[in-house]
Structure 1
Amino acid sequence: MANPDIPNVPDTESLDPEDWEDFRMRLHRMIDIAVDQMERSHEGRVWTPFPDEIKSLFDLSQTGQSSEQVDTTLQKLLPYGVGNTHPRFFGWVHGSGTPSNLVAEIAAATMNANTGGRNHAAIEVERLVIEWCKGLFSFPDEASGLVMSGTSMATIVAIKAARDARLDFKSRQEGLGGHKLVGYTSTEAHACIARAFDMVGLGTDALRRIPVTADHQIDIELLKKQIHNDREGGFEPFLIAGTCGSVNAGTIDDLMALSDISETEQLWFHIDGAFGALGMLSDRLRHRLADLERADSIAFDFHKWLHVNYDAGCILIRSGDTHLKSFSDRPDYLKSAEHGLAAGGTWPVELGPELSRGFRALKVWAQIAEHGEEKLGRMISRNCEQAAYLGELVEAASDLELLLPVSMQICCFRYVPASASDVDLNSLNEDIVIQLQMSGIAAPSTTRIDGKTAIRVNITNHRTAQSDLDVLVGEVRRIGADLTQSH
């Protein structure tokens, strides 16, 4: 007998559209709007602040809106991204995405697959993407990997695997057990390495940050000395994290020397290759990256220099057995079977922290399948050539100063007026970047090089042309001169 206190919900009600033809037309309209936005990605402002009047439309105090209201609000959101789809977005290291990835995203959203486990097509596609990655870096057949949200999460997986392998996997139950593990990276390394040390219980003090040389590479001699001193002091060195593409300057550590030290000292050799590792596709960079194949783990992003739409990163681990031992834990409700939906061998949840995982691998597969390795590699090479061109423009200008040689795709420089002795150059160059961003002309970022504020121009954008760099340099000089005169 029905309980009168419980509302009667009809069992025919769902969240599906009541009229599928009407929904089909709705989706077509939104696709047209999206494609129009993508087609115009090179036009207008690079970045525009999010207006309060549009922000207020996303206030969820009023729900149950009509589909027309929702779609109108979504359309109004589109111009207010971070700007990385525009060819003059030069800040940080963001990929610019591709319209073709929209097709893969629609297919993935339609499947709505959870790729944490079980026996289904999405997991097989991810395994094939990982096989491609293993081939790219000449990793052995027994290596394993996962498509992840990005290098930050991938680094956590790598550091945990390295920690567990050093402690014979007892750390999974017992913790560090009094072991004083320490690892090594450069002062130019990405912060995600220190965060991983924190998150796997090692603590950030366990990460020794080795100074860099004048070329912004980890100082090999200082590294050797620190390892020796740590062993003498009762610490247990277990890992070296090399950088393949530093955030500040795009530099690459001496990977051969680091791999030799790791081998001699019996340390895990990890490489942060967030954007630089995929330089393996580039004829211009490949010879500089040969020692990637000697790494025990590589973390990198597809959403940077492969231009896959956010988000998509990857972890590769040389020893698939170590990888599995570091994460595998199959409770009864996730037990495997020989046949059926619970079959399929090793599940991704046994190789990382997530059981709930989206089908990121499909857009990665689609990007590689459609555009091909050679074309993707050419886009990488072109960005490096453009950064070198920007460096030449800077060196040719009397009021600009190149702060570091261009290594890959990053150029760091500053505006230096003739009256430099009377001007706070750090403050001036900060103001130049802010004005570039606020005006919508371009969006570089800033960093510090040897205490000097640099206008940092990163080019990981398949839409950027040399003319965009001409515009940037002209505007930096114009804004710099105006600010100098106004002081």
Structure 2
Amino acid sequence: MSDHSLDPKDWDRYRAEAHDLLDHCIDLMRRADERPWQHVPDDIQDRYAIGPDGSRQADLMARIKNDVLPYHAGNTHPKYWGWVQGTGLATDVTAGMVAAVMNSNCGGRNHGANYMERAVIDWTCRKMGLPETAFGVFVTGTSQATLQAFAAARVKVMGPGVRAVGQGEARLTAYAAAGVHNATKKALEVLGVGSANLRLVPLIDGQMDLQKLRNMIEVDRADGATPFLIVGTAGSVDLGLFDDFHGLADIARETGLWLHIDGAFGAWTRIAEGAYRDLSDGIERADSIALDFHKWMYVGYDCGLCLVRDGAELRAAFTARPVYLDGKERGVASGEPWFCDYGVDLSRGNRAIKVWMALETLGEVAFSKAITRNCDLAKMMAAEVEARPEMGLARVPVSNVCVFTANASLPAEEQSALNVRIAVDLQESGEAVFSTTVVDGTEMLRAAIVNHRTTEAHIREAIAAVARLASD
């Protein structure tokens, strides 16, 4: 081997250190309940400073164990329910090893990782109830998936020329529920549609008011605008609520608009059991769906997916084959699809392997039961809250999100201050991680349970801790 190679000079030593590190990492995953979030040391930046050469390599494994692995984001812990952050799986470790050894660029060309990505996309399309024409592309997450789906919608309404010359004087308008995730606003801004052209539709019982939506579309058309997009929500940011997708699909069909579903986590109720599955009825009628595997399918970051009902419409928005990307009938440059034709990324890692290994190892039923259990645990948390007279629910959970206040008898401003203090105190003590959100003018504690490690005992302990801090 050439001395100029960057491969290890001592493969036996590398193997021994890698085996030791692997054992250590598996031990940490096995003891996830002992490892809550903690503050990083004040000198952490100095510890991570890059040296001019490899002189510190001798103690690198010790530094990883002492200075890197302890200061994780916390979301692997079973009492981490802040925001909507996934927990990761043991299969991610082995998937990461395989992905690193293969080092596949999934932008295109003919190699196995692209066929694996196609297999996971096909599986997901079936679970969402989309037709055989549907296709998609793995992306970083729902924010990128949203941008790419909106780009496809814009090309459909404006024609392929919009890619070259822009939308000119056309004023496109989009419609979403008040409180829609900020990814929708960002995507419209990046595309040049502008967030000022997003119409926020009032809610009725947590869903978009369908009659108001119709009226807004009519008013915009009469004013010379070009309505092009309706955005439905599967699992709202604050309360985990779901729009009426059949109602939205009916309006989209009547008006000729594109129906997109923000299904970041809520789309996965499609594989849940019982009434939870009913929450996403009608999602199969969407023109596009954005969703994450790294939330409610539990795999490691990052792993999102953009799905489009007619894959040709997604390809029309992004395909570009300069001569250096010309495909061939044979050899490395053969094979279809090339995923660079379906999104903004040319260089892409093998995100699909995490999903493929998880499903092949655990089976779809295991994920169905875990998602259902998370929803049941949110209802259990609500029952624990209701059992304490001083606390108050924002709303009975419909899915996996429970929002409540620690002391409903206080004025709104004092409730908000108390809830924020409790959230931070519990985070810093390592007892539990809630985030907060504002409901009807009061900042409340919010638990979004997408954690396969959470048990009934964790729920009881956390609510007891909230009650203890509220009474101090």
TM-score range, shorter chain: over 0.9
- Partner residue, 1:471: 461
Question: What pairs with 1:41-56 in structure 2 (closer than 5 Å)?
Answer: 41-44=32-35, 46-56=36-46
Name the CA distance, whole Å, in 2 between partners of 1:345 and 1:103.
27
SS at structure 2 position matched to 1:289: coil
Question: What pairs with 1:54-453 in structure 2 (closer than 5 Å)?
Answer: 54-76=44-66, 77-213=68-204, 215-284=205-274, 285-416=276-407, 420-421=410-411, 424-453=414-443
Maintained 8 Å contact 2:92/2:299: yes
**Deviations 1:18-77 (Å, cap 9, x if unpaired)?**
121111111101101111111110115x21011123442101245423433222221121
Name the CA distance, whole Å, in 2 between partners of 1:303 and 1:422.
35
Name the CA distance, whole Å, in 2 between partners of 1:13 and 1:233.
67
* Rg comparison, structure with higher value: 1
Name the CA distance, whole Å, in 1 between partners of 2:167 and 2:33.
52
Maintained 8 Å contact 1:188/1:216: no
**TM-score, scaled relative to structure 1:** 0.94
Maintained 8 Å contact 1:115/1:122: yes
Q: 1:423 to 1:218 in 2, by over 3 A?
A: closer
**Deviations 1:97-121 (Å, cap 9, x if unpaired)?**
1112211110001101110111111
RMSD: 1.4
Q: 1:289 to 1:15 in 2, by over 3 A?
A: same
**Deviations 1:231-266 (Å, cap 9, x if unpaired)?**
111111001000000111100011111111101111
List alignment gaps of at least 5 residues for structure 1: 1-9, 483-487
SS at structure 2 position matched to 1:413: strand
Deviation at residue 11 of structure 1 after TM alignment = 5.3
Q: 1:342 to 1:291 in 2, by over 3 A?
A: same
Deviation at residue 12 of structure 1 after TM alignment = 3.3
SS at structure 1 position matched to 2:130: coil
**Deviations 1:65-93 (Å, cap 9, x if unpaired)?**
34332222211211211111000001010
Name the CA distance, whole Å, in 2 between partners of 1:480 and 1:136.
43
**TM-score, scaled relative to structure 2:** 0.97
Q: 1:296 to 1:13 in 2, by over 3 A?
A: same
**2:421 is matched by which residue type in structure 1?**
D
SS at structure 1 position matched to 2:137: strand
Maintained 8 Å contact 1:417/1:481: no
Deviation at residue 140 of structure 1 after TM alignment = 1.6
**1:260 is matched by which residue type in structure 2?**
D
Name the CA distance, whole Å, in 2 between partners of 1:434 and 1:20.
46
Q: 1:225 to 1:39 in 2, by over 3 A?
A: same
Name the CA distance, whole Å, in 2 between partners of 1:63 and 1:50.
26
Runs of 4+ that moved beyond 6 A: none
Maintained 8 Å contact 1:271/1:292: yes
SS at structure 1 position matched to 2:270: helix
Maintained 8 Å contact 2:177/2:208: yes
- Partner residue, 2:444: 454
Deviation at residue 423 of structure 1 after TM alignment = 7.1
Maintained 8 Å contact 1:188/1:212: no
The 10-residue stretch of structure 1 (363-372 or 63-72) with the greater mean CA deviation from structure 2: 63-72
Maintained 8 Å contact 2:412/2:442: no
Aligned length: 470
SS at structure 2 position matched to 1:261: helix
Name the CA distance, whole Å, in 2 between partners of 1:396 and 1:11.
70
**1:224 is matched by which residue type in structure 2?**
R
Maintained 8 Å contact 2:392/2:408: no
The 10-residue stretch of structure 1 (429-438 or 374-383) with the greater mean CA deviation from structure 2: 429-438
**1:276 is matched by which residue type in structure 2?**
G
The 10-residue stretch of structure 1 (29-38 or 134-143) with the greater mean CA deviation from structure 2: 134-143
List alignment gaps of at least 5 residues for structure 2: none
**Deviations 1:97-150 (Å, cap 9, x if unpaired)?**
111221111000110111011111111110111111111112122211011111
Deviation at residue 347 of structure 1 after TM alignment = 0.6
**1:84 is matched by which residue type in structure 2?**
N
Maintained 8 Å contact 2:125/2:134: yes
Name the CA distance, whole Å, in 2 between partners of 1:417 and 1:401.
5
Deviation at residue 421 of structure 1 after TM alignment = 5.0
Q: 1:417 to 1:232 in 2, by over 3 A?
A: closer
Q: 1:423 to 1:253 in 2, by over 3 A?
A: closer
Deviation at residue 395 of structure 1 after TM alignment = 1.1
**2:469 is matched by which residue type in structure 1?**
I
**1:104 is matched by which residue type in structure 2?**
A
Deviation at residue 211 of structure 1 after TM alignment = 2.1
